[in-house]
């Protein structure tokens, strides 16, 4: 099918909320590790991994083989009947995450968060929740209610027992100051309504919110405050989980042990699965019958076991940290070279974001779309997120190679270089002056004249390249 035919069918039959990336979108028909191929045979290096899902690569043969083997053997029974894969997966997760010996399997991130929120209500016998502004936790009714990003709050009648506190981030503000502001708001809410609050839910790195890493010490201090009021901490590890940030859980990496953790995306490597896991004490409160028809399905559980085998065997967390450091360094250097375009680079491991035009988010959003389109035409799929949709998102399969990173940076440099040339021409036309000023000097590293060399050729001239 042509892209036009697919778009026409989607327009005719999907709900109008459904969107797609790109003015000229390709139809993706196959995948292999860090690559996907479209219907016309064009190959793209994927730097978005289907929003953090295929961390272990597209159609990874070791994992696909386990999926197919199980699909041929036994596909579905429900947890009413005994099967091996879900029991083995529960045991495996408990070994990998010993603080959370009990798990409930479901099918998506939203469902995992919904379950965690209900568990917190059952455990504390309280109704309220605390959440951060600009967070995203899902599409079910409760998870929409604790979602701070307005564009994802689809339910017009959200649960009104949710207290939003400012996230510990503001562009240009010192992270520790932002953390203090958020913690002080947390303390106020706890003072006012702590007795009615079951849990605080937090993404250790806000993904859709624009790759905002919780600052040093923030989560641990929040946990101490919450404990004072008997309020649980839920870490939404749906985007961060299973190695992308450099460890299996980003919450652990950021120095906190939440009471409940939620997982999905990368755990299934492309096969739908969700789960929430809790401490023995908290899990004991989910003691009335509850079941998910597909949760712990043999095919998804067998796949998740193969995903975990692969993550361990290939030491993907270490790889994410190493390659993420290289990618971040490259993006940082590019930010220094295009300071008008790139405002900030953020993130951990291979969960990175680069914000465009933070001071003019509408322009940033338009430029972000242009960068995505041109990068796609050059063979690279990158994502976007952020409150104003002006943050380039880099969350590639962790199996990506250093050479892919270099090639992507080279393409990004060419795209940003083209945009910068136009900006400078516009600036010149507006000023009506064509004579270069000292501030236009390329070697100054700031915005140069219209003839400014792209970043990487400048790097090469300096005898170095972004690693």
Ligand X SMILES: Cc1ncc(COP(=O)(O)O)c(C=O)c1O
Give the range of 39-47, 76-84, 91-99, 106-114 binding ligand X by CB under 6 A: 106-114
Stretch of residues binding ligand X (CB under 6 A), selected from 78-86, 135-143, 295-303, 422-430 = 135-143
Sheet holding 342-348, edge to edge: 342-348, 351-356, 391-394, 383-385
**Degrees to nearest 5, angle at CA 400 with 212 and 49:** 55
Give the binding range for ligand X (CB under 6 A) out of 18-26, 103-111, 224-232, 304-312.
103-111
Residue placing its CB nearer to ligand X in the complex, 209 or 361: 209
Q: Which residues contact 426 (CB under 8 A, 6 or more apart)?
A: none
Q: Which is nearer to ligand X, 128 or 274 (CB)?
A: 274
Based on the shown chain and the rule CB under 6 A, indicate whether residue 251 belongs to the binding site for ligand X: no
**For the chain, how long is the longest CA-to-CA vector?**
79
Total residues belonging to the chain:
467
Given the complex with ligand X, which of 36 and 263 has the nearer CB atom? 263
Stretch that binds ligand X, among 10-18, 200-208, 277-285, 393-401 (CB under 6 A): 200-208
Applying CB under 6 A, among 136, 149, 178, 341 the residue interacting with ligand X is: 136
Q: Which is nearer to ligand X, 132 or 399 (CB)?
A: 132
Q: Which of 152, 354, 345, 317 is nearest to 241 (CA)?
A: 317
Q: How far is the CB of 154 from ligand X (least distance, A)?
A: 12
Whether residue 58 contacts residue 47, with contact meaning beta carbons closer than 8 Å, is answered with no
Q: Say how far apart CA 443 and CA 459 lie, in whole Å.
A: 11
**How far apart are the C-alpha atoms of 246 and 321, rounded to whole Å?**
5
Binding to ligand X, residues 219-248 (CB under 6 A)? 236, 238-239
Question: Looking only at residues 166 through 185 of this chain, which bind ligand X when binding is defined by CB under 6 A?
Answer: none
Looking up tokens 């450099």 gives: 246
CB of 210 closer than 8 Å to CB of 392 = no
Residue range at the interface with ligand X (CB under 6 A); choices 181-189, 202-210, 301-309, 404-412 = 202-210
Q: How far is the CB of 237 from ligand X (least distance, A)?
A: 8
Residue nearest to ligand X (CB): 109
CA–CA gap between residue 320 and residue 323 (Å, rounded): 5
Distance CA 332, CA 320 (A): 17
Helix, strand, or coil (residue 407): helix
Q: Give 109 or 317: the residue with its C-beta nearer to ligand X.
A: 109
Helices 298-313 and 84-96 sit at what angle, rounded to 10 degrees?
40
Q: Report the nearest approach of ligand X to the CB of residue 242 (Å).
A: 13
Alpha carbon distance 270, 310 (integer Å): 14
Q: What does the CA dihedral 132, 244, 456, 210 come to, rounded to 10 degrees?
A: -10
DSSP strand pairing (260-263 vs 391-394): unpaired
| Among positions 34, 83, 110, 303, the unique one binding ligand X when judged by CB under 6 A | 110
Contact map string, positions 389 to 428, toward ligand X, x by CB under 6 A: ----------------------------------------
Select 107 or 182, whichever has its Cβ closest to ligand X. Answer: 107
Q: Which of 203, 410, 413, 420 touches ligand X by CB under 6 A?
A: 203
Site membership for ligand X, residue 208 (CB under 6 A): yes
Residue 190 or 372 having the CB closest to ligand X: 372
Q: C-beta of 451: minimal distance to ligand X in Å?
A: 42
C-beta of residue 4 within 8 angstroms of C-beta of residue 29: no
Our CB check for ligand X shows the closer of 194 and 209 to be 209
Exposed/middle/buried for residue 81 (C-beta within 10 Å: 0-12, 13-18, 19+): exposed
Q: Which residues ranging from 252 to 291 are in contact with ligand X (CB under 6 A)?
A: 264
Instruction: Compute the least distance from the CB of residue 238 to ligand X, in Å.
Output: 4
Write the CB contacts of 210 (distance below 8 Å, at least 6 apart in sequence). Answer: 134, 346, 353, 355, 385, 386, 387, 391
Nearer to ligand X, 263 or 320 (CB): 263
Q: Which residues are near ligand X by CB under 6 A?
A: 51, 108-110, 113, 136-139, 203, 207-208, 236, 238-239, 264
């Amino acid at each position: 099918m042509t892209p036009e035919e697919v778009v026409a069918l989607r327009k005719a039959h999907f709900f109008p909320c459904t969107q797609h990336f790109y003015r000229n979108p390709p139809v993706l028909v196959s995948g292999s590790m860090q690559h996907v191929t479209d219907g016309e045979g064009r190959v793209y290096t994927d730097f978005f991994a289907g929003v953090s899902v295929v961390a272990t690569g597209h159609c990874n043969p070791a994992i696909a083989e386990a999926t197919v083997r199980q699909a041929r053997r036994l596909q579905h029974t429900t947890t009413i009947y005994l099967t091996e894969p879900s029991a083995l997966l529960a045991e495996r997760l408990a070994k990998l995450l010993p603080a959370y010996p009990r798990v409930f399997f479901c099918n998506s991130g939203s469902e995992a968060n919904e379950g965690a929120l209900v568990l917190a209500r059952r455990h504390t016998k309280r109704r309220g929740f605390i959440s951060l502004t600009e967070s995203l936790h899902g599409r079910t009714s409760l998870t929409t209610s604790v979602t701070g990003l307005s564009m994802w709050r689809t339910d017009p009648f959200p649960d009104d027992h949710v207290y939003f506190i400012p996230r510990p981030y503001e562009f240009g503000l010192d992270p520790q100051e932002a953390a203090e502001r958020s913690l002080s708001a947390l303390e106020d809410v706890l003072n006012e309504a702590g007795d009615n609050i079951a849990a605080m839910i937090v993404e250790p790195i806000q993904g859709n919110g624009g790759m905002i890493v919780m600052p040093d010490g923030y989560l641990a201090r929040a946990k101490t405050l919450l404990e004072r009021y008997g309020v649980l901490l839920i870490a939404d590890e749906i985007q961060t989980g299973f190695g992308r940030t450099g460890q299996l859980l980003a919450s652990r990496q950021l120095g906190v042990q939440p009471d409940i953790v939620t997982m999905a995306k990368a755990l299934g490597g492309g096969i739908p699965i969700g789960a929430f896991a809790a401490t023995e004490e908290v899990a004991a409160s989910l003691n009335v019958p509850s079941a998910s028809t597909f949760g712990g399905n043999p095919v998804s559980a067998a796949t998740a076991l193969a995903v975990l085998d692969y993550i361990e065997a290939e030491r993907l967390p270490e790889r994410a940290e190493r390659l993420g450091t290289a990618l971040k360094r490259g993006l940082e250097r590019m930010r220094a070279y295009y300071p008008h375009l790139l405002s900030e680079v953020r993130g951990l491991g291979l969960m990175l974001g680069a914000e465009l035009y933070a001071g003019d988010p509408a322009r940033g959003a338009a430029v972000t779309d242009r960068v995505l389109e041109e990068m796609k035409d050059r063979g690279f799929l990158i994502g976007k997120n952020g409150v104003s949709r002006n943050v380039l998102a880099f969350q590639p399969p962790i199996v990506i190679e250093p050479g892919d990173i270099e090639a992507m940076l080279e393409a990004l440099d060419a795209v940003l270089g083209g945009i910068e040339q136009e900006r400078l021409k516009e600036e010149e036309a507006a000023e009506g002056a064509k004579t270069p000023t000292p501030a236009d000097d390329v070697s100054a590293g700031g915005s140069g004249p219209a003839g400014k060399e792209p970043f990487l050729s400048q790097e090469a001239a300096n005898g170095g390249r972004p690693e």
